[in-house]
Amino acid sequence: MKRSGKQWILTALRYGLCFVALALLVSVVRWYDVVRLDDAELTELRLLEERGDTLLVLRDGAEVEIRRADVHTLEDGVLDIEYGIGGVVRRMDGKWALLALLVFIPVPFLQSLRLVWMLSIQNVRLSLWNAIKLSFAGNFFNFALPGTTGGDVIKAYYLTRYTHRKTEAVLTVFLDRVVGLFGLVLLAGTMILVTWDRERYGQFALVLAVVCGCLAVGALLVFSRRLRHAIKLPELAERLPMGDQLLRIGRATVAMRRHKGMVALSLWNTLALQITVIFSAFLMARALGLGGDIGHYFVYVPIGFLIAAVPISPPQGIGVVELFYLRVFAHTGLSTESQAVAFALGVRFVQLAWALPGVLVPLLGAHLPSQADLEKLDEPAAVGAAAAK
């Protein structure tokens, strides 16, 4: 099959998945507010407006007022009103939402610092300022390209302009993403173990265990020279097309073995970054009135991000992530369907707000290296220079 044919199939699968997910959302989510009457059938009426002691509703196509006393009440004495997407957003606590937005500020800068550290392992020099620009640009393109990794392709392309070690630079962007995903798995897995609830988390434990197992095998291949030679991995790479490039990729990956301290530092950076992201999401949940303690969000939000990162997911996992949050929040009593969907949109909005400055990077040509940057192309990075001595 030709490459173009494969790309067409993947694109069709991606957007077909998006269409199915959105169709399911439309069928199960409330898009307007409803009130249930205190009668035998718990009759549902569309709620138009709350007016003190009365409610304006739509009944048989006509607007009528009903008394609050005619509305069914829940066990805690609250009126049985289910707010749709619009109602949830209107009732959102602006202070909590603003706090969620502000808490997210350090995230792109932590991403940039991690990129500088990861590149230094490969003897690639990149200033923190340039890393910040490329990270913002990559985050912006993540919203325009499929999945949540499309921006990495753009960032990797921009990065090759800053170094002669292009293979190592591109690989570093990939490894940087792997470290980020490993942080998500580690956080979710740790929280599941700490707050073990077989009924609630058991279905995710096996999946995370499999992912951790795959990452462990990958780590063994990176850090165990004996294992690589036992399975004759270098010899196999030499026989494959573009064998030289594969061996170069292998050497770049193994370079992490010689800089365990920098790898560990990058992982700690990742954990701080992910904790910040999850706490921001928790604040957004509070703004929208979702229930559950912060432990729920340390499990569900990382898994939501992992789902969105799957290459065949629609852009930003639109529709798919919402369905996941419906299952873990709405179907477990932690929220209504509308709140779960609004939460997914709210988390995505916070990310988009801090990704938008990235559009200025290509528009202003800020992704291109300056003359000073070009003059430093042959200078080794600090970590690489230290290793060479």
Question: What is the residue-wise DSSP string for 126-144?
Answer: --HHHHHHHHHHHHHHHTT
Confidence class for position 283, pLDDT limits 50, 70, 90 = very high
Q: pLDDT tens across 161-172, in order?
A: 888 888 888 888
Residue 351 lies in a domain: yes
In contact, 134 and 159? CB cutoff 8 Å: yes
Per-residue tokens: 367:
């992704």
Per-residue tokens: 254:
């193994």
Claim to verify: residue 76 and residue 172 sit in the same structural domain = no
Claim to verify: residue 304 and residue 345 sit in the same structural domain = yes
Q: pLDDT tens across 179-235, in order?
A: 888 888 888 888 887 777 766 776 677 777 777 777 777 666 666 667 666 666 666
The residue count of the chain comes to 389
Q: What is the pTM of this model?
A: 0.76
Contacts of 69 (CB under 8 A, 6+ apart): 38
Amino acid symbol at 23 = A
Q: Residue 232: what pLDDT?
A: 62
Claim to verify: residue 139 and residue 173 sit in the same structural domain = yes
* 308 vs 348: CA distance, rounded Å: 11
* 56 vs 70: CA distance, rounded Å: 12
* 212 vs 128: CA distance, rounded Å: 31
**Domain residue limits at 42:** 34-82
Domain boundary among 50, 82, 114: 82
Claim to verify: residue 68 and residue 165 sit in the same structural domain = no
* 256 vs 133: CA distance, rounded Å: 25
- As a dihedral over the C-alpha atoms of residue 66, residue 69, residue 75, residue 78, rounded to 10 degrees, the angle is 60
Is 274 or 199 the better-scoring residue by pLDDT? 274
Is 288 or 84 the better-scoring residue by pLDDT? 288
Per-residue tokens: 167:
């293979």
Contacts of 58 (CB under 8 A, 6+ apart): 45, 46, 48, 64
Claim to verify: residue 125 and residue 63 sit in the same structural domain = no
Q: Could you give the number of structural domains in the chain?
A: 2
Residue 90 lies in a domain: no
Residue 315 lies in a domain: yes
Which parts of 122-197 fold into alpha helices (H)?
A: 128-142, 150-159, 166-194
Run of H or E including 62: strand 62-67
Per-residue tokens: 137:
């640009």
Domain boundary among 82, 110, 145: 82
